[in-house]
C-alpha cells in the first residue's frame, strides 16, 4: 500500500470507513466527465464527479504478469450526461477510464486504483454496460504496417499529404430530407459528381449534432436527389442541419492516382501478388512480359 497517501492509509486501518468509487472518463477529444457511486457530488482536483449516472462496477481481478484484465461498469442513460445517441455515434469508444478510491468525507484523500480504456458498450433497457480493458490490451493487438495492396494512410495526414482543404475535395451542404436512420437527402453539392463523397468524412455544423463527425458509406443519386448513407446511425441529423464534407477515398491505387493525383505518395503495395498468382498457370491467353501488375 506504499502508493496510498498516508491519510487514506490511516483511514483504511480504521474499523469503519467512508469510501466510494469515482470514475474519470477522458474522451478521445479531450473532454472529461466524472461519475461516482456516492449519492452526492464530489470534487477532486477541480473535477466534478456526479452521482446521477448511477455508475456501478462489477468484480475486478488484477493479474500478475502480462495478462489482460477486464471489468465492467453499468449506469443509467441520462439525457444531460450520457445519451444513447452519443454511444451510437462512438463518442465514448476508446475513452480512458481512471478508477479512484475516495474518502467521501474528505475528497482530498483518494488513490487511483487502475487505468483502463472502454472497449465495448452495450445498451439494455435504458441502461448501458461498458467493458473496461486494461492497458495491457494494447500489447495484444497487431502493431506496425501490414503489407497489402490498399493504402493504410488516412486521407490528408502527414503520410498521405493530400490537402483536404482544396475546394475540389471539400464541400458544404444542408440536409433536405431524412429518408431513414442514417440515410438522408442533401443539397448544395451540385458541383460534385455522385459517388465523390463515398467513404468520406462528414462534420455537422449546426443543430443537436454540431461538432460530431460520421463516415459516409455511400453517396448516390436517386430520382435526381443526392442521397448520403452513413456507416452508423448515431449522428442522425434533422432537416436543415448543415455540414462540411471531405471527399472519400477507397484506399485503392487507382483512386489515389486519378482522383487525388497523389500516386507518388500511395502508402499501399499495389504490385503485391495475391493468392491468385500462386495458383496461376501458363496459358496462351496470358501475357508474361515481366511488367507491373498495376499501370
- Report the CATH number at residue 229: 2.40.30
Does residue 232 lie within any of the structural domains? Answer: yes
Looking at the structure, tell me whether residues 121 and 241 fall in a common domain: no
Does residue 209 lie within any of the structural domains? Answer: yes
**Which of 94, 124, 140 is the C-terminal boundary of a domain?**
140
Read off the C-alpha cell for 208: 443537436
Does residue 134 lie within any of the structural domains? Answer: yes
Looking at the structure, tell me whether residues 21 and 101 fall in a common domain: yes
CA angle 198, 199, 205 (to 5 degrees): 85
CA distances from 67 to 91, 94, 134, 140, 291 (A): 28, 19, 9, 9, 49
Which sign, positive or negative, has the C-alpha torsion 162, 265, 94, 33? Answer: negative
Looking at the structure, tell me whether residues 19 and 129 fall in a common domain: yes
What mean pLDDT comes out for the span 110-128? Answer: 78
Helix (H) or strand (E) holding 85: helix 84-88
Of residues 145 and 65, more confidence is placed in 145
What mean pLDDT comes out for the span 171-175? Answer: 93
Looking at the structure, tell me whether residues 76 and 10 fall in a common domain: yes
Does residue 83 lie within any of the structural domains? Answer: yes
Q: What is the pLDDT of residue 270?
A: 87
Looking at the structure, tell me whether residues 11 and 136 fall in a common domain: yes
Domains of the chain: total: 2
Does residue 282 lie within any of the structural domains? Answer: no
Q: What is the pLDDT of residue 99?
A: 87
Looking at the structure, tell me whether residues 107 and 199 fall in a common domain: no
Residue 110 has pLDDT above 50, yes or no: yes
Looking at the structure, tell me whether residues 44 and 111 fall in a common domain: yes
Q: What is the pLDDT of residue 265?
A: 94
Looking at the structure, tell me whether residues 174 and 136 fall in a common domain: no
Looking at the structure, tell me whether residues 16 and 134 fall in a common domain: yes
Does residue 119 lie within any of the structural domains? Answer: yes
Q: What is the pLDDT of residue 36?
A: 87
Q: What is the pLDDT of residue 68?
A: 46
Of residues 280 and 54, more confidence is placed in 280
Domain that holds residue 233: 170-246
Of all residues in the chain, the percent with pLDDT exceeding 90 is 43
Q: What is the pLDDT of residue 250?
A: 93
* pLDDT band, residue 79 (cuts 50/70/90): very low
* pLDDT band, residue 205 (cuts 50/70/90): very high
Of residues 78 and 268, more confidence is placed in 268
**3-state secondary structure (DSSP) of residue 101:** strand
Looking at the structure, tell me whether residues 28 and 120 fall in a common domain: yes
Does residue 192 lie within any of the structural domains? Answer: yes
Q: Which of 9-18, 31-40, 76-85, 224-233 has the lowest mean pLDDT?
A: 76-85
Q: Which of 30-34, 138-142, 269-273 has the lowest mean pLDDT?
A: 138-142
Q: What is the pLDDT of residue 66?
A: 44
Strands of the chain (E only): list them: 19-26, 32-36, 42-44, 47-49, 56-57, 70-76, 96-103, 110-124, 127-134, 170-180, 183-187, 201-204, 213-222, 225-230, 242-246
Looking at the structure, tell me whether residues 47 and 130 fall in a common domain: yes
Looking at the structure, tell me whether residues 183 and 71 fall in a common domain: no
Alpha-carbon span 206 to 229, nearest angstrom: 19
Closest Cα to residue 72, out of 133, 126, 130, 135?
Answer: 130
Does residue 28 lie within any of the structural domains? Answer: yes
Amino acid at each position: 500500500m506504499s502508493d496510498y497517501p498516508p491519510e487514506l492509509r490511516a483511514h483504511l486501518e480504521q474499523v469503519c470507513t467512508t469510501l466510494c468509487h469515482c470514475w474519470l472518463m477522458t474522451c478521445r477529444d479531450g473532454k472529461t466527465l466524472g461519475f461516482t457511486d456516492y449519492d452526492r457530488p464530489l470534487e477532486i482536483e477541480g473535477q466534478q464527479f456526479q452521482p446521477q449516472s448511477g455508475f456501478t462496477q462489477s468484480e475486478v481481478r488484477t493479474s500478475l504478469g502480462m495478462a489482460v484484465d477486464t471489468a465492467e461498469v453499468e449506469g443509467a442513460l441520462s439525457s444531460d450526461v450520457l445519451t444513447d445517441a452519443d454511444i451510437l455515434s462512438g463518442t465514448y469508444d476508446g475513452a480512458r477510464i481512471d478508477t479512484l478510491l475516495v474518502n467521501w468525507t474528505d475528497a482530498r484523500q483518494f488513490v487511483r486504483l487502475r487505468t483502463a480504456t472502454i472497449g465495448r458498450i452495450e445498451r439494455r433497457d435504458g441502461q448501458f454496460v461498458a467493458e473496461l480493458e486494461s492497458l495491457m490490451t494494447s500489447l495484444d493487438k497487431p502493431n506496425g504496417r501490414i503489407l497489402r495492396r490498399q493504402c493504410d494512410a488516412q486521407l490528408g495526414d502527414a503520410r498521405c499529404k493530400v490537402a483536404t482543404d482544396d475546394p475540389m475535395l471539400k464541400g458544404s451542404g444542408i440536409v433536405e430530407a431524412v429518408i431513414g436512420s442514417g440515410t438522408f437527402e442533401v443539397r448544395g453539392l451540385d458541383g460534385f459528381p455522385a459517388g465523390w463523397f463515398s467513404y468520406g468524412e462528414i462534420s455537422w455544423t449546426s443543430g443537436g449534432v454540431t461538432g460530431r463527425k460520421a463516415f459516409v458509406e455511400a453517396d448516390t443519386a436517386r430520382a435526381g436527389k443526392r442521397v448520403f448513407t452513413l456507416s452508423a446511425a448515431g449522428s442522425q441529423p434533422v432537416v436543415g442541419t448543415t455540414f462540411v464534407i471531405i471527399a472519400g477515398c477507397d484506399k485503392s491505387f487507382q483512386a489515389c492516382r486519378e482522383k487525388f493525383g497523389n500516386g507518388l505518395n500511395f502508402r499501399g503495395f499495389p504490385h503485391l501478388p495475391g493468392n491468385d498468382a500462386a495458383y496461376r498457370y501458363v496459358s496462351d491467353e496470358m501475357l508474361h512480359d515481366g511488367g507491373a501488375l498495376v499501370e
